[in-house]
């Protein structure tokens, strides 16, 4: 990331790693609905701009549809009246010349959803861990921490440090090597293991789901599965036929149906596309229960986690804040790395009134030239935005408006600088 961010030549990247894109790119080309759209900025800026463009396009589409309906109503009312026929014909010709605005296509945004809340509320102290030694045959790490109701905690760190082993230990899948962990009262766990994506069965999706929830009717089961995109004949596929992403969705569907108040998730975004990850992020951000999860997806961690438990070389550290602050912390130079740099004595400048006046006049001339240049550029951008071929190109309009906003800000700064120079 650091290398690419400072690389002076062109780079083309295809990636599902959104944090990687945030740190390395300054333009995004999105391919959707058979068209390619260009956006300036990194991934986060792209998502914001795309939402703005779609909202504007939808508003313009709806306004145009109202106008078309009114025109058609006028045409139908007057086209057979002799004294109004000419007016009706002009409306018909106007409609024929009208450049239609397409309705934004949201098909690619079709994704799973679940509106759920915990069935019961847990007590305040959800999980207490003291000197818990984790590992299979030898200790990988020893951990101590407390998780309270409503906290969202991300476990991060390199491979082989014991992150997934910790989750397996506290859900009882493997025994601890020492220490203790205690759950509080009324804690109802929902556990997702990354290996669930490898789960195989000859049962259909519907039968597999009903085996876990035998009290449900077929209608209720299909409604629950439909929320996770198992619709129509999809429910009659066998589990063996499902892709890794589909198996993850099935596992999440079963977990959320149980309405737990403490989610323990091990790499839940593996096998998911970006849209699936963003959907799960929204669900977990709005989840009122407690969350403990392992993830290598930094963007996902940034969106969901309130606290960080970092595994570092057989040691663990608890951070009372989210990923942005954690990243700032690890990027700061350690005390041992900070060199003692003596202050450099500045040279004394000697100037005369004549030199100062000449310097100010040059600065005024420079500011006036810049203002003239910016005003000319703004006129050109305003002309560009009015061109017929750009009026319905919402991506282009957004780009032009951003350039206009930037130029106007620079113009304001230049004018303020000029005023200061002239009054000094």
Q: H or E segment at 351?
A: none
Residue among 19, 59, 88, 109 nearest 397 (CA): 59
pLDDT in 10s for each residue of the chain, 424 residues: 989 988 989 999 998 889 999 999 999 999 887 889 899 999 999 988 988 888 888 899 899 999 999 988 888 888 788 777 788 888 888 888 888 888 876 544 556 777 778 989 999 999 999 999 999 888 889 999 999 999 999 999 988 889 999 999 999 999 999 999 999 999 999 999 877 767 888 999 999 999 999 999 999 999 999 988 898 999 999 999 998 888 988 999 999 999 999 999 999 988 888 888 888 898 899 899 999 999 999 999 999 999 999 998 778 899 999 999 998 888 876 554 444 434 434 444 455 667 777 788 888 888 889 888 888 888 888 888 777 777 667 677 777 877 887 788 788 788 878 877 777 7
What is the three-class DSSP state of 50?
helix
pTM of the model: 0.67
Strand 152-157 vs strand 178-183: parallel, antiparallel, or unpaired?
Answer: unpaired
Its sign, for the CA torsion 15, 18, 19, 21, is positive
Q: What pLDDT was estimated at residue 264?
A: 96
Residue-level pLDDT at 106: 58
Query: What is the spatial distance between Cα 288 and Cα 339, in angstroms, rounded to a whole number?
Result: 46
Instruction: List the 189-192 sheet strands across, edge first.
Output: 189-192, 262-266, 290-294, 152-157, 307-312, 315-319
CB count within 10 Å of CB 265 equals: 24
| Residues counted in the chain | 424
> What pLDDT does residue 109 have?
55
pLDDT of residue 407: 83
Angle at 131 between CA 129 and CA 133, to 5 degrees: 100
Per-residue b/e over 150-177, b at no fewer than 16 CB within 10 Å? bbbbbbbbeeebbbbbbbbbbeeeeebb
Q: How far apart are CA 153 and CA 131, in angstroms?
A: 18
Distance CA 1, CA 42 (A): 13
CB 71 within 8 A of CB 91: yes
Task: Name residue 135's beta-bridge partners.
Answer: 139
SS3 292: strand
């Amino acid at each position: 990331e650091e290398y690419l961010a400072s690389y002076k030549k062109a780079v083309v990247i295809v990636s599902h790693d959104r944090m990687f894109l945030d740190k390395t790119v300054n333009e995004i080309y999105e391919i959707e609905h058979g068209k390619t759209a260009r956006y300036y900025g990194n991934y986060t800026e792209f998502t914001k701009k795309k939402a703005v463009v779609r909202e504007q396009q939808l508003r313009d589409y709806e306004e145009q549809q109202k106008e078309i309906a009114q025109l058609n109503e006028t045409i139908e009312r007057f086209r057979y009246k002799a004294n109004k026929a000419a007016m009706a014909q002009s409306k018909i010709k106007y409609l024929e010349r009208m450049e239609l605005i397409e309705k934004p296509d949201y098909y690619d945004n079709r994704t799973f959803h679940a509106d759920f809340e915990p069935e019961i509320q847990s007590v305040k102290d959800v999980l207490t861990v003291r000197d818990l030694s984790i590992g299979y045959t030898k200790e990988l790490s020893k951990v101590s921490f407390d998780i309270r109701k409503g906290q969202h905690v991300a476990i991060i760190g390199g491979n082989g440090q014991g992150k997934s082993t910790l989750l397996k230990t506290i859900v009882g899948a493997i025994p601890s090597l020492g220490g203790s962990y205690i759950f509080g009262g009324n804690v109802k766990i929902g556990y997702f293991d990354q290996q669930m994506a490898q789960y195989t069965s000859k049962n259909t999706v519907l039968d597999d789901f009903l085996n876990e929830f035998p009290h449900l009717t077929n209608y209720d089961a299909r409604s629950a599965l439909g929320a996770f995109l198992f619709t129509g004949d999809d429910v009659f596929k066998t589990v063996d036929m499902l892709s890794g992403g589909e198996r993850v969705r099935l596992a999440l569907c079963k977990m959320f149906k149980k309405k737990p108040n403490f989610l323990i998730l091990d790499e839940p975004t593996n096998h998911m596309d970006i849209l699936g990850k963003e959907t799960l992020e929204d669900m977990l951000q709005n989840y009122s229960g407690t969350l403990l999860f392992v993830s290598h997806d930094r963007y996902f961690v940034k969106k969901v986690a309130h606290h960080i438990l970092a595994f570092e070389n057989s040691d663990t550290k608890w951070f009372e804040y989210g990923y942005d602050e954690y990243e700032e912390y690890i990027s700061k130079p350690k005390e041992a790395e900070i060199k003692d740099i003596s202050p450099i004595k500045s040279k004394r400048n000697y100037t005369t009134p004549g030199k100062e006046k000449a310097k100010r006049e040059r600065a005024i001339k420079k500011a006036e030239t810049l203002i003239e240049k910016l005003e000319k550029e703004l006129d050109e951008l305003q002309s560009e935005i009015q061109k017929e071929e750009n009026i319905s190109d919402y991506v282009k309009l957004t780009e032009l408006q951003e350039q206009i906003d930037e130029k106007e800000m620079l113009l304001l700064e230049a004018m303020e600088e000029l005023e200061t120079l002239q009054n000094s």
